[in-house]
Amino acid sequence: MKRPLFLMVSICLLLFLTACDGQTQAPAGSQPVNETISLTVWGAEEDEALLQELFDSFQSHYAGQADFQITYQPQSESNCKDALLGDLEGGADVFAFADDQVAALAAAGGLDPIENEASVRNASLPAAVEAASVGNTLYAYPLTADNGYFLYYNKAYFTEQDVQSLDQMLEIAAQAEKLIAMDWSSAWYVYAFFGNTGLEVGLNEDGLTNYCTWNSTDNPIRGTDVARAMLDIAASPAFANRPDAEFLAGVRDGSVVAGISGVWNAVAIEEAWGDNMGAAKLPTYTCAGRQVQMASFSGCKLIGVNAYSQHPEWAARLAEWITSEENQRLRFELRGQGPANINAANSQEVQSSLAIAALLEQSNYSQLQRVGGKFWDPVSEFSTSMAQGNPSGASLQAQLDRLAEGVSQR
């Protein structure tokens, strides 16, 4: 009688051990295998193909543990905070966003501290960890460490010496009847002219409102000096005020031979210019009779998990998957974006990238983007006026006073 009992116990033990021997276990508290796990992901429109590939590999990796239904929806990373806070419970489970939004999202309850903090910290670049944190608490998964801008140029027209000076570049491009593009409708890029002048903008201690001295008349370089310099640049026949899509269109049709953009355009520009693609830090420009090095905002892209997700464990797993070392390498290969993962960032492929090298060179003149929501519209209004040659004829000082008042509004 003992023999059948022993056999039955052995079979049960074998089945139990076999079930526990899987390489990847479902998250604690996850649903049964036949349960449908619906996840919505927000990402940049240009990332759709890459994200769909990552969704497919995620579902293959976790096949049999749940029935996944992952839906992609395009959402600008720069506007993600506003879209999510407008409807937290109805928002995406997983979303990509710019790091300057992390404090507001955490304060509003849209993000919880991530549970596997130690492993993410150890795997990510220190600057990316800082960008994804509020105080010492990590709230998001670092995705890229390349959210900045620099100069692309066509080596058929410019030498390495030429691209040190915007004045020289504009002169060469004008003679060739070509264009140099920069988006002055975006306050993000316009910071380039003010950042190394001693004129300041940034967040107050409340973390929401701004201070701004761009209208200063006491600084060695006054705000009006920068405004006049911008008007001089805009008056060049070689200058083109173009948003990113129009810049790329000009690169492809040959009308644009240089422009200011980021690593996200590296693949497309290399396809258009081939071996003639060059990349460098931003040039200097003439302001108040001196050469001023153009500055830049810098930052990281992050992946967040909605604190109101109906499936937080699986949402976190998907966020980890999107930001894994392997998939950050794939993102660099397909999109040219610089990884936040230490191992991926130190790979030979990344280190040999012209765009990444230019971004690193520009980082000596960059500032982590930390401005409140009132910064964007007043600056864009001012810079659009400058790009158009100040058509109203309004006082430059008055326009700068209006800018500073709008940016500093509480």
Contact between 217 and 398 (Cβ < 8 Å): no
Helix axes 396-407, 223-234, angle to 10 degrees: 110
Phi, psi (rounded to 5 degrees) for 237: -65, -15
d(CA 72, CA 38): 11
Predicted pLDDT of residue 12: 43
Q: Are the C-beta atoms of residues 264 and 114 closer than 8 Å to each other?
A: no
Provide CATH code, domain 150-298+362-407.
3.40.190.10
Alpha helices by DSSP H, listed for 180-324, are 187-194, 223-234, 244-253, 266-273, 312-322
Same fold for the pair 33-144+301-339 and 150-298+362-407: yes
Distance separating the N- and C-terminal Cα atoms of the chain: 84
- Going by C-alpha positions, the residue among 186, 364, 187, 361 that lies closest to residue 278 is 361
pLDDT tens sequence for the chain (410 residues): 434 444 444 444 444 444 444 434 555 555 556 789 999 999 999 999 999 999 999 999 999 999 999 999 999 998 899 999 999 999 999 999 999 899 889 999 999 999 999 999 999 998 899 899 988 999 999 999 988 999 999 999 999 999 999 999 999 999 999 999 999 999 999 999 999 999 999 988 887 899 999 999 999 999 999 999 999 999 999 999 999 999 999 999 999 999 999 988 998 999 999 999 999 999 999 999 999 999 999 899 999 999 999 999 999 999 999 999 999 999 999 988 899 999 999 899 998 999 999 998 998 899 888 898 899 999 999 999 999 999 999 999 999 999 999 999 98
The model scores a pTM over 0.85: no
**CA-based nearest residue to 149, from 284, 303, 266:** 266
d(CA 6, CA 92): 52
pLDDT of residue 147: 86
Mind listing the pLDDT tens digit for each residue in 247-275? 999 999 999 999 999 988 998 999 999 99
Apex CA 132: angle with CA 56 and CA 69, to 5°? 20
Our CA dihedral for 27, 28, 30, 34, rounded to 10 degrees, sits at 80
If one counts every other C-beta atom within 10 angstroms of the C-beta of residue 14, the result is: 10
CB 100 within 8 A of CB 187: no
Domain boundaries defined on the chain: 33-144+301-339, 150-298+362-407
Specify the CATH number for 33-144+301-339; select among 3.40.190.10, 3.30.70.20, 3.10.180.10, 3.40.50.11270. 3.40.190.10
Give 123-137 pLDDT, tens digit per residue.
999 889 989 998 899
Length of the chain: 410
Residue 95: both structure tokens together: 């979303």
User: How far apart are alpha carbons 248 and 158 in whole angstroms?
Assistant: 18
